[in-house]
Amino acid sequence: MPMRRLLTAALSLLLAAHVAAAELVVGQVAPLSGVLAATGAQMVLGAKIYFEHVNATGGIHGAKIRHVVKDDAYKIDETIRLTQEAIERDKAVALIGFAGTANLTELLKRNILQEANIALVAPYTGGEPLRTPFNPSLFHIRAGYADEAEHMIGQLVILGIRDIGVYFQNDGFGKAGLAGVEAALQRRGLKLAASAPYERNKLDDSVAQAVGAFKKSAVSAIIMISINPTTAAFVKAFRAAGGNAQLFNISVVDPAELVRLAGVENMHGLGISQVVPFPYSPTLPVIREYRELFAKYAPKDAAISYTSFEEFIGARVLVEGLRRAGPKPTPEKVLRALESLGRHDVGGFQVNFSRDNRIGSKYVEVTVIGREGKLLR
């Protein structure tokens, strides 16, 4: 073969190898500042430790994952702007782990994900409007708020508790949880005893007003659809006012952060519904892997949490989709690969996706903050 042809062939092989080994950009828009900053940091960490493991063990078809993280401060307009930036400027092939029912609702309303044919895996929300009607762009790892409400109401009714109130964030997130509680009560022929809202991104006098409303109605249990700062403020004020109702929150709160904000003397006994298995005991292969990679890649001052574990599972699911999409994945190829997963075992935790199903799991259990501030099953 003439030298020129040999050089041309060699150059072609080098170019092909370069294309195959190009970066795979995964975008994540998360609240790294503002009222949800602690949660956002854990969301990012859970995905990060698995992506670092994948990169350290050869990547995907020779390509390394570049995890592009952007801070939306839990603000809807920033979620919109930064998602567009990740898709258009950063050329993300997939997205992972956004937070906020209202934030994601607006993304869908504007058709930003749908027009890009891009998948968003493991959104950190259980809002029913993001599940029904069906949307092909969202791949839910977690059960919905309605599933969590059903589980908690079921347990309360079995215990003979029927006077139930709801403390909720006055937006799409809180109203989705409120609707779930009301529907679960209605299925049992019951009605909500009392409800009290608070405004998104604010800590104001609504906490005192809510405490007064629940004390007046003499509820036996309160289910909170609220985030860490407002949950802590309400529980602290409610207990200081002599409130002794059984308190619950849905899965979006972090028990360690609640104890830090309000003290274990206020937080012990709080029930928290969970949508992934208990990460503090290595009972499943995926938990053992998470704990091993957490010890290897997480900062020394970081702590294991449900939130980071949930996004770790999401990262594992997304990586499987990236592998199945082949060596030159496009956003649409990744989306199609994810919907082809079917019933997929993630180390003892199963998700199930198909062409017409994006609800990967309905797993729910309730945990309790113990007297030492540790989470108990």
Q: Where are the domains of the chain?
A: 3-144+282-353, 145-274
Tokens of 299: 């900062």
Tokens of 118: 């891009």
**What is the pLDDT, as a whole number, of residue 62?**
95
Distance of CA 303 to CAs 90, 122, 273, Å? Answer: 30, 21, 20
pTM (predicted TM-score): 0.89
Q: Closest Cα to residue 302, out of 312, 316, 315, 314? A: 312
Q: Is the CB of residue 109 less than 8 Å from the CB of residue 126? A: no
Q: 145-274 belongs to which CATH class?
A: alpha beta
Q: Is the CB of residue 26 less than 8 Å from the CB of residue 94? A: yes
Q: How confident is the chain (377 residues) per 10-residue block, as mean pLDDT? A: 50 45 91 94 98 98 98 97 98 97 95 98 94 95 95 95 95 92 96 92 80 91 94 95 95 93 95 97 97 98 96 98 96 98 97 97 96 92
Q: Closest Cα to residue 232, out of 36, 32, 98, 33? A: 36
Q: Helices (H), strands (E): how many in the chain?
A: 14, 14
**What is the pLDDT, as a whole number, of residue 16?**
43
**Same fold for the pair 3-144+282-353 and 145-274:** yes
Q: Closest Cα to residue 38, out of 224, 174, 199, 229? A: 229
Q: Is the CB of residue 292 less than 8 Å from the CB of residue 65? A: no
Kindly state which CATH superfamily the domain 3-144+282-353 is placed in. Response regulator (3.40.50.2300)
Cα gap 149→224, rounded to integer Å: 10
Q: What 3-state DSSP class applies to 322?
A: helix
Question: What are the CB-based long-range contacts (under 8 Å, 24+) for 156-159?
Answer: 156/221, 156/246, 157/188, 157/190
Q: What 3-state DSSP class applies to 241?
A: coil
Residue 242 CB contacts under 8 Å (≥ 6 apart), including other chains: 215
Q: What are phi and psi of 61, to 5 degrees?
A: 50, 40
